Amino acid sequence: MEWGRAYDPYRHAEVLGAEVVVSSAVTGWGDYRGSRIRVHPLLNQAEARCTVAHEIVHHERRDDVLGYCGVAWLDSRLERRVHAVAARRLIIVPELVDALLWSDDAGEIAEQLVVDPRTLYVRLVDMSVFEYRDIGKQTRGQSTRSLADLRRYAARRLWQRPAS
């Protein structure tokens, strides 16, 4: 399953029988209920693409039926896992290597991959040891910022608490 930039979550949703609609009634970026994926109208292309990919994973898991358990840390774990699966579909290693060779700025890398920065951060933090070593070998000496630095930055960005 290699997708990356070629992955069209809208087409994937159609194949799975899920309807994608744009709705300002969404409280966040998007949600999924009863085979309908709702996406907020103010999202840019990359944000909408990532949101639809994320909600497709909920659709495949039947989270509208099985739902959340109501225990915050378990629900949070489920969301992280769903986002990691979506990030793997949206960002594949060869394209990530190309992006890392092109820029060391997370925003520019995300833009080149047609994803939002959060999805890039999730993919960087969730990569396997094999992927990490493979990317490190391919970018060593050709990038001004090390992959380890970018991963640490991604982890800090993902887990920092918003200001009160």
* Judgement on whether residues 122 and 154 belong to the same structural domain of the protein: yes
Domain-embedded: residue 75: no
Number of domains in the chain: 2
CA distance readout (Å), 40 to 27, 116, 140: 8, 15, 39
Q: What is the pLDDT of residue 164?
A: 44
Q: What separation in angstroms does the CA of 78 have from each of 11, 59, 140?
A: 24, 13, 34
101 lies in the same domain as 154: yes
- Average pLDDT, 10 consecutive residues per value, the chain (164 residues): 88 95 92 90 97 94 69 76 96 96 93 97 95 91 80 88 52
Residue 154 located in a structural domain: yes
Domain boundary among 67, 100, 119: 67
Residues 63 and 31 in one domain: yes
**Residue numbers of the domain that contains 40:** 7-67
Are residues 95 and 63 both part of a single domain? no
What single-letter amino acid sits at 159? W
Q: What is the pLDDT of residue 112?
A: 97
